[in-house]
Amino acid sequence: MADPVTWGLAIGAVVSAAGAIASSAASANQAQAQSQAAEFNAAVAGQNATLARQQAAVDAANIELQGDRKRGAVRAAAAASGLTGGSVSDILADVATTNELEVLLTKYKGDVAATGFTNTATLDRARADSFITRAGEARTAGYLSAGGMLVKGGVDVYDQLEQG
143-150 long-range Cβ contacts below 8 angstroms, 24+ apart = 143/21, 143/24, 145/17, 145/20, 145/24, 146/16, 146/17, 146/18, 146/20, 146/21, 147/17, 149/13, 149/16, 149/17, 149/20, 150/13, 150/14, 150/17
pLDDT at 120 over 60: yes
Alpha-carbon distance 120 to 112, whole Å?
A: 12
pLDDT band of residue 2 (cuts 50, 70, 90) is low
Would you state the pLDDT for residue 3? 87
Q: What is the pTM of this model?
A: 0.75
pLDDT band of residue 1 (cuts 50, 70, 90) is low
**Which candidate, 133, 142, 125, places its Cα nearest to that of 45?**
125
pLDDT digits (tens, 9 = 90+) for 11-68: 999 999 999 999 999 999 999 999 999 999 999 999 999 999 999 999 999 999 999 9
The domain ranges of the chain are 4-163
Alpha-carbon distance 56 to 69, whole Å?
A: 20
First to last CA, the chain: 11
